[in-house]
Amino acid sequence: MTGHLKSWPIVLALSILSAPLVLMYVYLFIDTFTNAPPGSFIPNEFTLEHWTFLWHTPPGRLSIWRVTLNSLMFATSTATLVVVVSSMAGYVLSRLNVPARGFFLAGVMVLHAFPAITLIVAIFLVLQIVGLYNTLIGVILVKAAIDMPLGIWLMKGFYDTVPWEIEMAGIQDGASRFTVWRKLVLPQVKPGIFALGLFAFLLGWGEFILPQVLAPSGNAQVLSVYLAALIADDNNFDMALFKSVGLFYIAPVLILFFFFQSYLMNIYGGGSKG
C-alpha cells in the first residue's frame, strides 16, 4: 500500500504527459463515427458514412477486404518464414560447433544494424529481373530476409538458456540430434518462438516502405500502401475516410498487444523465462 502511495507523483506526471496522446486517440475514434459542423471540433451527429469503405468499393480502388487479406498474408508469411528459419539457425549458432561461428554471429549483428533502405534500389532491380516485382511473394521474401538477423539473434539468446545437460540426456536416451531439438529443446524455447512470431507479424503488418516501393500497385497492395494512396489522391481527398481506414488498420495491432503483451515482453527479457 505504501508503495502505491509513494509512486503517485510519478503516476500523475506520466498521466499528464500522456494525456494529449490518449485524447488524440479518443478523438480519432469519436471523429470517425460523427460529423461536426464546419469550423467546430464538437460533433453534432452520429454517422456511419465514414465507414462505408467496408462494404462499398469506389471505382479504381481495390476492395478493402482484398487489401486486408494481402496485409494479413504478408504479415503471416514473413512471420512464419522468420520463425522457421530463426528457430533453426539460432539453434545451430547457439549449440553446434559450426566453422566460422564467430563470423556468422558478427555478420548477423551487422546485418541487423544495416539500414535496409540503402539496399532498396538494388532489391528493386533484383526483383524486377527475377520477375517478382509488384508481387506479394517478392515483398514477403525481402521483408523476411530483413527481419531474420534480429530473429536469429533472439532465438540464439533463448537457446542459450536451455541447459546443455538436457540435450546430452536426450542423446544418451537414444534420440537423434534432430529428435533432441524437436522434442526436448524446442519446447523449452516456445515462449521465445511465440514472442518472435508475434513480433515479426506486427513488424510485417506495420511495414510501409518495402511494399510501397516493391509492390505499389495492382493486386499486391497492402493496407499501409492503400492508406498512403488515400492521402496522395488529390481528386477526392477525404480526411474522415483516411482516419477511419487508419483506425481499421491499427485495430488488430491494439488487440494483439492487449492480449499478448506479456509474451512480447519476453523479447526484451532476452529469453529469460518467468
Partner 1 sequence: MRILLDKFSKSFGDVRVIEDMTLEINDGEMLALLGPSGCGKSTTLFAICGIHKVTGGRILFGDRDMTGVPSQERNVGVVFQSYALYPHMTVAENIAFPLRIRKLPEAEVKRQMEEMANLVHIEALLDRRPAELSGGQQQRVALARALVRRPNVLLLDEPLANLDAKLRLEMRSEIRRIQLETGITAILVTHDQVEAMSMCDRIAIMNAGEIIQIATPQEMYRNPRTAFVAGFLGNPPIAFIDAVASNGTLTVKDADIRLPVPPNTETPPDGTPVIVGIRPENLGRDGDAPIRGRISFVETQGRENLYDLTLANGSVLRSIQRESDDVSLNDEVEWRVRSDQLFLFAQNGERL
Task: Report the nearest approach of partner 1 to the CB of residue 184 (Å).
Answer: 6
Q: Is residue 161 within the footprint of partner 1 (CB under 8 A)? A: no
Verify binding: residue 99, partner 1, rule CB under 8 A: no
Site string for partner 1, 119-158 (x = CB under 8 A): ----------------------------------------
Question: CB of 176: closest distance to partner 1 in angstroms?
Answer: 7
**Separation between Cα atoms, residue 87 and residue 65, nearest integer Å:** 32
CA dist., res. 31 & res. 35, Å (int): 7
Nearer to partner 1, 98 or 125 (CB): 98
Which stretch, 32-40, 62-70, 79-87, 166-174, contacts partner 1 (CB under 8 A)? 166-174
Kindly state the number of chain residues that form the binding site for partner 1, as judged by CB under 8 A: 16
Return the residue of 22, 171, 251, 265 that touches partner 1, per CB under 8 A: 171
For 162, left (φ over 0), alpha (ψ -120 to 50), or beta? beta
CA dihedral 36, 39, 41, 44 (to 10 degrees): -30
Cell of 108: 548477423
Interface pattern 185-204 for partner 1 (x via CB under 8 A): --xx----------------
Residue 176 contacts partner 1 per CB under 8 A: yes
How much is the CA Rg of the chain, to the nearest whole Å?
23
Residue 270 is placed in which grid cell? 532476452
Q: How far is CA 200 from CA 103, 212, 216, 233, in A?
A: 25, 19, 21, 30
Residues forming the site for partner 1 (CB under 8 A):
163, 165-166, 168-176, 179, 184, 187-188
